[in-house]
Amino acid sequence: MAAAVASNTVSQGKINIPTYHQIPETKHELDWADLITLDLSQFSVPGGKQKLATQLFEAIQKIGFFYIVNFGLAQEQVDRQFAIGKEVFQLPTEEKLKYRADLEHGGYNGYKPLGLREVRPGVYDNTEIYNIPKFIPAFDQPHPDVINSNRTEIEAFARHIHDDIVHKLLVLFALVLELPEDFFLQRHRYDEKSDCHLRYMKYHHRTAEQNRVLENVWVKGHTDFGSLTLLFRQPVAALQVRTPEGQWKWIKPYPQSITVNLADSLEFLTNGFLKSSIHRVVAPPPDQADIDRLGVLYFVRPEDSLELRPIVSSVLQRLGYDKVKDDTTVGITAGEWVKARVAKGVAKDKPRHDVTEQEIIGGKAAKYYD
């Protein structure tokens, strides 16, 4: 079953793209995570930034996931990106493979094919991905016609995320750490080389037998590579977050929201204070089991040249994080970390389910969780 149905079409250049309609949420009552919601419309009101920073401080102490609302994009604009992504994945395989990412060497911009990684013996991953890098000359590359003909719209969408959403979040993190407001902004400049990208992602539904073999776990618990991951509302329930107590909680598709999670770079830069959230993808509940799960995401990553060395902050000093000596990321740059993790992610030495810890670069390892 497709993840959406077509009604009227919208002409853009030479390609007609069906209008996208989000599917209904599951009717099953799941064990949902209790996450805070940041209302970004409060960012510019007097005292709003500090109130949001206080909320954020409380949220990130435990779980590293939160929602944002009122982020300046209409649902129609978001659904339009889902529609474009769906169109990309409906292209013939031979056409998509023309834009295959050089994953084996740490490159990820472009297309990641279905079934590239073995999850369990004889069972392969069920994801297709198309990553679009920042729209700067350093990342000029060919794309399918459906992306080229909608480039202006896609770029405006991605630039809004970076300039109007990520900007606010990075300011809030600086306030949490009692740093100058532009501290993280100066390390995430759009015009500098970094691994930020917009992603279209499709999880193909699995058979009951495949889910049985996988024990319903599609992607093991892991952390993301950069600073932040933004997931536009995804009604197919499949994302779970690991609590500090080791429990898995479902992430609810909160209306007109973006789900945000912290990633490796912020954890390294703050010596573990900002926790890179552990999350996984599992088989959806029965009423969504036959639906392909289409996603639109934005990955925020520091500039490639930034060394992932712990920063100096009065907050970290007060809380004792300056006394924890972890030198394993000293000398490793953000760009090196991302590329090494991408390459390791497609390594074929053993099925992914059997990997619990994997050395990435310079002795620094990534862990995976059941």
What pLDDT does residue 231 have? 98
Scanning the structure block, which residue is given the tokens 């059941």?
A: 370
Alpha carbons 161 and 26: distance in angstroms, whole number:
28
Q: What is the DSSP string of 64-132?
A: SEEEEE--S--HHHHHHHHHHHHHHHTS-HHHHGGGB--GGGT--SEEE-TT-SEEETTEE--EEEEEE
Alpha carbons 268 and 227: distance in angstroms, whole number:
10
What pLDDT does residue 9 have? 40
Q: 3-class SS at 168? A: helix
SS3 content of the chain, % helix, strand, coil (to 5): 30, 25, 45
Alpha carbons 273 and 285: distance in angstroms, whole number:
34
Instruction: For the chain of 370 residues, list the mean pLDDT of each consecutive stretch of 10.
Output: 39 71 95 96 97 92 90 97 98 98 93 93 95 97 97 98 98 98 98 97 97 95 96 97 95 96 94 93 98 98 95 94 76 92 79 80 88
What pLDDT does residue 370 have? 85
The 239-242 sheet, strands edge to edge = 217-222, 279-282, 239-242, 248-250
Q: The domain 9-367 is classified under which CATH number: 3.40.50.300, 2.40.30.110, 2.60.120.330, 3.40.980.10?
A: 2.60.120.330
pTM score, whole prediction = 0.94
How many other CB atoms sit within 10 Å of the CB of residue 187?
A: 19
Alpha carbons 188 and 304: distance in angstroms, whole number:
9
What pLDDT does residue 345 have? 80
